[in-house]
Amino acid sequence: MNWAILTVPELKKALHERDLPVSGKKADLIARLKKSDAPVASTHDAPATSSSVAKTTTPPSVSTDSDGPLGGLGEEGGLRRSYAKVVALPVPVLALIAVLLSSTILVAIIQPEFVMNLFGEEEIEYELIEFDADRARGYAQSLVDLGHPQYKGRMSGSAEEGNAASMIMDNFSAMGYQATLEEFDVPMFEIMDDPELAICLPGSVLLYSNSQPCGFLDADQQVISFDHRMDYVIQGFSGSADIVFSDKIEVVSIGNGSEDEMWNDVTDKIVLVSLSGVGVSGNTNLYSKAAENNAAALITWNGVYNCGKVEADDCVPIFKGTGVDEVKTANGGSMPFDIPFIMVSNDTGQAIQDNVVDGSGYLRIFTDVDNTNTRTIRVPCGTMYGDTTELVMAGAHHDTVYSGPGAVDDTSGSASILELATQFAQIVEEKGQPKRTVKFCTWGGEEEGLYGSTAWVEKHQGELEVDLRLYINLDMNHADKDLGERGNSLSLFGNNAEDMKQIKAIAKQFQKERPEIADRYSISFSTKTGELGEANALPYNSDHGPFAYGLEERNGDVLVCYGSGSYEYHTYADDMTRFNEESLGVSVVIYGTYLTKLAYTSL
């Protein structure tokens, strides 16, 4: 018997069957088994390794009920016995079974497959990987520290994003992976200078009769200046303009902007759109409308997102992306380079409404943004080559919105990938080269349109079509540290039913073996097998999208984790003060255990 091919739990089971000690490292267990050549102690003379070998290839018996939270899984019905044990029962017992079962079942019971189903398949025993929460937090803090000195983010195509990619690649290399750094030139905007937003209320005293209100000679004018990032945020692919008070450009409020007729009279005017409901009108549609109707500027007024949660009495503005291709189509084939696009907080929007739209004030908007060129984004990867080219991957995006540190979105995912890669490298040191090739990558360009993962999948299309077994995506796989106030939910989902059965089985084992962590979180599961655009399709909102739906000949198998409670999402406040490194361990251990199993078995 080649004991080296078995996992530690399988070795321990074999030792236990021989009444031998089960403590020690894997090498000790193997040596102990090699030394003992005795057959398995069994009154029925069952083969010594039949049970343990079967566990490396037999899927776990998991409930086929509809997906739901971990607490609802329960124990499946049926006895946990193998076929070998069933047929070895004494004749009187078999006779009793024959009496109890109907004649139809009695005929069928002689078929091995039926007997296996009757008594339940034996679950795979997984060896849960470890997770070092302190190290994961250290990875996250190191990435956050690489942020822009003023804006704090690691915007795609920036020096900060490049530094993050290099840091990740260096870590992969130090862990023993074959590290690579690929670069892609993609559509990307660049903020060239600090923006400005202000309101001027004209004074009552003009030094000369022909002086302009809010002009240089308006002696007692009042200027209200707003803080960039806290009060307003540039939106994806905004254009540039320098609108001053003396231009006296009219500001028009058009409600939520969802009706075409609202845009009929906005030419050369600043358009104020009230976001009064989530999803009423997205950035792409609104900016397209502004371009089609030659607006002077576009302002969205946040009355929806994070209201009262980041700041007690306000709704903090967030960065949102904009679809380049759609806007270009609306603008005759090019980006509207001269139309500023910003989002303002609820308080700031109310001030504009009261003092400008309904008052006598004027608005100042200055943005200097290059939105017509490409920039270079990066994709660092670490590869551990296996016996075959069949590929198991895990990834996250290392870029953030420009305006915030992005501690949760998605520094949490990148830190998780680094921790998972660390754990897997240690497993390789113990177990040797895997059967499948394992690759860890992080993506630039996610926040502005999944550019990094899309470009990488397109470049590696041929090999992915043939070799991709599974891609795991970790994007905000994090629950806020205030579990009682903000919720403790983590959602695990994928598009392959068999993969999800395995994930549920591992999650049950995780809950059993590490209840001090598992019991603190509500873990839910769902399987989404629909084609792109169908009701049961995966959401195409993160880097799993290109892997699932971007292959030409087939859909790729993916697993995803999303977390909860991150009210600071896409704001200046997404920093390490709310970071909960413990929560990352749920997805890292569950998905990482499955990744490791796939790496070393034919599962």
CATH code of 395's domain:
3.40.630.10
Q: What is the pLDDT of residue 82?
A: 32
Task: Examine the fold and report which residue of 16, 36, 54 is the final residue of a domain before the chain moves on.
Answer: 54
The tally of domains found in the chain comes to: 3
Residues 287 and 408 reside in one and the same domain: no
Do 246 and 391 fall within a single domain? no
pLDDT in tens, 11-32: 767 776 777 765 555 666 677 7
In a shared domain, residues 365 and 432: no
On whether both 398 and 306 belong to a single domain, the answer is no
Average pLDDT over residues 520-535: 96
| Mean pLDDT for the stretch of residues 406-415 | 98
Q: How far is 240 from 247, CA to CA, in rounded Å?
A: 16
Is the pLDDT at 121 greater than 90? The verdict is no
6-20, 191-205, 271-285, 366-380: lowest mean pLDDT where? 6-20
Separation CA 512–CA 128 (nearest Å): 11
Whether residue 294 sits in one domain with residue 253: yes
d(CA 602, CA 56): 8
Contact 456, 182 (CB under 8 A): yes
Q: Per-residue pLDDT for 383 more than 50?
A: yes
What Cα–Cα distance (Å) separates residue 200 from each residue in 128, 203, 273, 349, 356?
62, 9, 20, 15, 9
Write the DSSP string, 469-529.
EEEEEESS--B-S-HHHH--EEEEEES-HHHHHHHHHHHHHHHHH-HHHHTTSEEEEEE--
Q: Does 513 map to a domain?
A: yes
Q: Using one digit for the tens of pLDDT, what is the confidence trace for 480-511?
A: 999 999 999 999 999 999 999 999 999 999 99
Using the 3D structure, point to which of 35, 54, 73 is the last residue of a domain: 54
Which pLDDT value is given to residue 35?
A: 75
Please list, residue by residue across 206-224, b when 16 or more beta carbons sit within 10 angstroms of its beta carbon and e when fewer do.
beeeeeebbbeebeebeee
Read off the pLDDT band of 372 (50, 70, 90). Answer: very high
Same domain, 336 and 385: no
179 and 284 assigned to the same domain:
no
Please check whether residue 583 lies inside any domain of the structure. yes
User: Is the per-residue pLDDT at 534 higher than 50?
Assistant: yes
Does residue 414 form part of some domain? yes
pLDDT over 90 percentage in the chain:
74
Closest CA to 298 of 288, 309, 290: 290
In a domain, 464, yes or no: yes
Measured distance between the N- and C-terminal CA atoms of the chain, rounded to whole angstroms: 21
Asked whether residue 363 falls in the same domain as residue 454, the answer is no
Q: Which of 73-77, 94-98, 162-166, 262-266 has the highest mean pLDDT?
A: 162-166
pLDDT per residue as tens digits for the range 96-110: 434 344 433 333 333
Tens of pLDDT, residue by residue over 149-159, are: 999 999 999 99
- Pair 201, 179 in one domain: no
For residue 428, the Cα-to-chain-centroid distance in whole angstroms is 26
Among candidate residues 191, 587, 592, 197, the one with its CA nearest the CA of residue 421: 592
pLDDT of residue 250: 97
- Report the C-alpha gap between 324 and 187 in whole angstroms: 8
- Per-residue buried b or exposed e for 6-34, using 16+ beta carbons within 10 Å of the residue's own CB: bbbbbbbbbbebbeeebeeebeebbebbe
Q: Is residue 468 part of a domain?
A: yes
- Is 19 domain-assigned? yes
Structure tokens that stand for 485 in this block: 């106030």
Q: Are residues 547 and 564 in the same domain?
A: yes
Confirm if 178 and 169 have CB atoms less than 8 A apart.
no
What pLDDT is recorded for position 113?
Answer: 30
* pLDDT for res 70: 56
Evaluate if residue 259 carries a pLDDT over 90: no
Residue 59 belongs to a domain: no
54-58, 379-383, 530-534: least confident range = 54-58
Q: Which of 370, 385, 402 is the last residue of a domain?
A: 370
92 part of a folded domain: no
The CATH number given to whatever domain includes residue 363 is 3.50.30.30
Q: What confidence category does residue 602 fall into, taking pLDDT thresholds of 50, 70 and 90?
A: confident
506 and 549 share one domain: yes
Please check whether residues 294 and 356 belong to one and the same domain. yes
Which structural domain, as residue segments, surrounds residue 15? 1-54
Residue with tokens 């034919």: 602
Res 58: pLDDT: 28
